[in-house]
Amino acid sequence: MTVWFHVDVNSAFLSWSALKLLREGQTLDLRTLPAAVGGDEEKRHGVVLAKSQSAKQYGIRTGESLFSARLKCPDLIVTRPDFDWYVQCSKGLIAILRDYSPVVEQFSIDEAFVEMTGSEALFGPPVQAADAIRERVHRELGFTVNVGISVNRLLAKVASDFEKPDRTHTLWPEEVPAKLWPLPVGALFGVGPSAVRTLDTLGIRTVGDLAHADPEILRGAFGVRGESLRQHANGIEGTPLGRREVKDNSYGNSVTLPQDLAAPQQADATLLALAESVAGRLRTDGKSARVVTVQLVDNAFRRSSHQVSLNNPTNSTEVIYQTARQLIRQMWPKRPVRLVGITCERTTAEAFEQLDLFTDARRSDKQEKLDRAADALRSRFGDKAVVRARLLDPAAPHSSPGALSAAKARDKRKNRKDK
């Protein structure tokens, strides 16, 4: 029998922010108070990125405005996000998971699927292994996770959303009628607010209703997706979540933004940071990618993506960033964007580049050496040892060779003036 775990960090951004503040000497644990992670409160469109269980009791929801959250809970504690720290916490989680299985598929910054098939001889029955993972994450990293267990990714992910925090839950096929079918249909992965409204007009309000719905009615309402929804309600995964054609063939990262963005230019700094992260992981693993994909989620939670196949495989931060910039300008939606992601796929260990008449070989070689040097410094001194000027000053020109030195010069002048 195939066994999958879905490991999900409890209120990830809030939990990670609370942990950092505690390590910096703060005595109050935000996880025990009405608290939220959000953008700039002075800006009307600042939103709640994560909230504590206490804040949830006030009816505060992820994605709502901080202004609205304040109306529900005037004493709400709000802290700004720290994405560099979040990435460190995420890397720590994935490192632990890889001690339990060679097949770890990161689904987002705070969740991953782990195939545990045939691991009982090493780690015991699935529930015992899941409890061991939970306890180790808490002991070594300081935050809690939920672990869902089942025969496929879909059911494992649903199971991890059961009672929180710090819990292990199973959802085996034989448990579907008792555990899954009574839930509201919106609890099923892939059923968003729009689908819930459509299903409600059809009298389908629980997952069980959907599991037994007339396939023709669903097809009429959703097209070919209707059959997929019905399969999911019956615990049948269909197209596996996070399926890779080749194991470890995809490198990606995404981030929910501290505030919605209205234009693609506003996402450039975020794209560069994501490209830096993804390209660095490719170089660390000795891989290059042929396909670059950009994902966007707007403030109505509608997801879209564009991808392009490159002439040559690459692990260059600059190439991935410039490709992503072009893609994002082609696909920018009408509504403001709340999430941006970059994924590099079709990876290879071959380290060749087919040059053409228009390729500057010396510049390409110089860029590769710069990337490698930056990687070495970060590996030795931490992720913040080398930071691109564009990330220090989002208003800086995109491709200015002297941007970093100019930024340093400004800092020196400022320091002299302060003195």
Residue 237 designated active-site: no
Phi, psi of 385 (to 5 degrees): -65, -35
Catalytic residue of the set 111, 115, 276, 318: 111
The Cα 381–Cα 384 span in angstroms is 8
What is residue 102's three-state secondary structure?
Answer: coil
Could you tell me if 146 and 8 are in contact, meaning their C-beta atoms sit under 8 angstroms apart?
yes
Plot region of 50 (φ>0 → left; ψ -120 to 50 → alpha; else → beta): beta
What is residue 293's three-state secondary structure?
Answer: strand
Could you tell me if 250 and 344 are in contact, meaning their C-beta atoms sit under 8 angstroms apart?
yes
Could you tell me if 306 and 294 are in contact, meaning their C-beta atoms sit under 8 angstroms apart?
yes
Q: What's the one-letter identity of residue 358?
A: F
Q: What's the one-letter identity of residue 256?
A: T
Any residues with CB less than 8 A from the CB of 128 and at least 6 apart, and which? none
Q: Peptide bond preceding 165: is omega within 30 degrees of 0, i.e. cis? A: yes
Could you tell me if 189 and 236 are in contact, meaning their C-beta atoms sit under 8 angstroms apart?
no
Give the distance between the most distant pair of CA atoms in the chain. 76
Q: Which residues are catalytic?
A: 111
